[in-house]
A and B are shown apart, each in its own frame.
Chain A
Amino acid sequence: MATHTLDITKEHCPMTFVKTKLKLAQIAEGDILEVLLTEGEPLNNVPKSAKEQGYNVLSVEHVDGNIHKVTIKK
């Protein structure tokens, strides 16, 4: 079980979702993906859409400023 990190803090819609989705497709079943994202659209919707697509959102933590870390298990 590996842990992967994806930083989408510099990305804008729709690439925030696109990069998360493609990364989740790439990693193995049971792996963890930590996504660094900003407040607003990414924070509101990345965890939500991951859940909707059947992934397990383990936590959403505040990192610094407007940056948050979402931990997703595939």
Chain B
Amino acid sequence: MEDTPKKKLSLIAFSGEFDKLTAVFTLATGAAAVGYEVNIFFTFWGLDAIKQKRGRSFVGGSFLTKIFGFMMGGLKATPTSRFNFWGIGPRIFRSLMRKNNVATLEELVEAATALGVNLYACEMAMHVLGLKQSDFIHEVKDTLGVASFLEISEGGRTMFI
């Protein structure tokens, strides 16, 4: 058998919506489970998915970023991009997913870390939002910039969600 390089998928998680993050983690876990090396680069609204505090809390450096941090919230506070209905939408989707035995966003995040998906945070967006690596779940491997992300994703497929 010829030696083929490991297949690789790199995702840029820009969005902070429940449905788009579900797409990110579905692709990530599915790819990792079939043997891909998977990298997720979280930036801007996407950083909400990896915050240690999954609800709403005043994370941030300054007064303004703390307010932003509270308004953005964590994984459990993510809105849906459609049918949000002032926050009821995600609850309805979560219950529909559970009812139909489809993995919820939280289960997908857990599976992603269990499968060794590499999680990275965008240095620039963290700086803007006053976030530190210690504000994120400990599975986040590193804080990166564009150059490092390009190096990591080199030779694989990249998607922006």
A residues near B, CB below 8 A? 10-15, 17-18, 20-22, 45, 49, 52-53
Contact = CB atoms under 8 A, between A and B. Distances in A.
Given A13-B26, A14-B29, A49 B103 contact: no
B125 interface: no
B147 interface: no
B144 interface: no
B30 A12 contact: no
Given A14-B27, A49-B35, A52-B35, 16 more contacts: A10-B101, A12-B100, A14-B29, A14-B30, A14-B111, A15-B29, A15-B107, A15-B111, A17-B30, A18-B29, A18-B32, A18-B33, A21-B32, A22-B111, A22-B115, A49-B34
B102 interface: yes
A11 B35 CA distance: 19
Nearest to A10: B101
Contact of A45 (B32, B34, B114, B115): B34
Q: How large is the interface on B (under 10, 10 to 19, 20 to 34, 35 or more residues)?
A: 10 to 19
A33 B107 CA distance: 23
A18 B107 CA distance: 11
